[in-house]
Amino acid sequence: MPRSSLSVDSNLSDRLSDEAGKQGMTVYGLANECLKADLEIFNEKGTPKQIYPYWKMNNFAKEIGGFPLFTIDLVTALVNALQGMNKENLLKIWFEQGLNLGTYLKIEYPSEQDLAKLMEQLEISLSLKKLEFRRVLAREEEESNKVEYSLRFIGSFSLELTNCIEQYLRGIFANYPFQIVDSKVGAGVVELRMQVLKNP
């Protein structure tokens, strides 16, 4: 089969060469395998920026025992059914599961900056309208020993499921040195305002 030459950044060329050695492949073979997989994704209307986040979240789901084929409709139906039995216990379960997940996340994403990158990946790979985690810059911050962050979570969820998601998020952030100072919940919308002490 005829070969063609492609120009890439020297840094990418070095990384490709290193990875080919790790995989026991030639650079030519690895480059062709990568491009073939990418082109198949593009043929299915995928985009380059989706590739890493989707792989990362799929691998992440495997590590925590997640099962991505559950639909929102199924989760909503389960929440509605269980809420009629004992709403407090249901919210407690969601908080505890968030707490468990947060334990893992604290290892993989230990800092606020790491969390922000995770949120960017989740926004791309999940069926959400928005998932934003950012530092809030306020005038008062210069005179305070605390830094403020906000989390905005927007999706197509019922109010009942959104209340559960809010508890799940609280559980996750309980593993970090954040203090949640305000929470707003509406159908499909969760907004958390959090504070953390500045590094000494």
Q: Are residues 73 and 37 in the same domain?
A: no
100 and 160 fall within a common domain:
yes
Q: What is the pLDDT of residue 166?
A: 95
Shared domain check, 76 and 166: yes
Q: How many helices (H) and strands (E) does the chain have?
A: 7, 4
Same domain, 190 and 148: yes
Domain enclosing residue 17, as ranges: 12-46
Kindly state whether residues 68 and 126 are assigned to the same domain: yes
- Residues 156 and 185 reside in one and the same domain: yes
The mean pLDDT of 178-188, rounded to a whole number, is 94
User: For residue 200, is pLDDT > 60?
Assistant: no
Task: Say whether both 82 and 154 belong to one domain.
Answer: yes
Any domain includes 6: no
**174, part of any domain:** yes
What is the pLDDT at residue 126? 79
Q: Give the CATH number for residue 191.
A: 3.90.1520
Same structural domain for residues 75 and 159? yes
- Reported as a single tens digit per residue, the pLDDT across 35-75 is 999 999 999 998 888 888 888 888 888 888 887 778 888 88
Q: Is the same domain home to 73 and 164?
A: yes
Whose CA is closest to 185, among 94, 60, 77? 94
Mean pLDDT for the stretch of residues 100-129: 87
pLDDT value at position 137? 72
Residue 78 sits in the same domain as residue 126: yes
In the chain the first and final C-alpha atoms are separated, in Å, by 62
Based on the fold, state whether residues 37 and 60 are members of the same structural domain. Answer: no
2 inside domain? no
**What average pLDDT does range 1-12 have in this prediction?**
81
Q: pTM higher than 0.75 for the full model? A: yes
185 domain residue, yes or no: yes
Q: What is the mean pLDDT of the chain?
A: 87
DSSP conformation class of 2: -
5 within some domain: no
As a residue count, the chain comes to 200
Please identify which residue in the block is written with the tokens 């929102």: 72
Note whether residue 7 is domain-resident: no
In a domain, 166, yes or no: yes
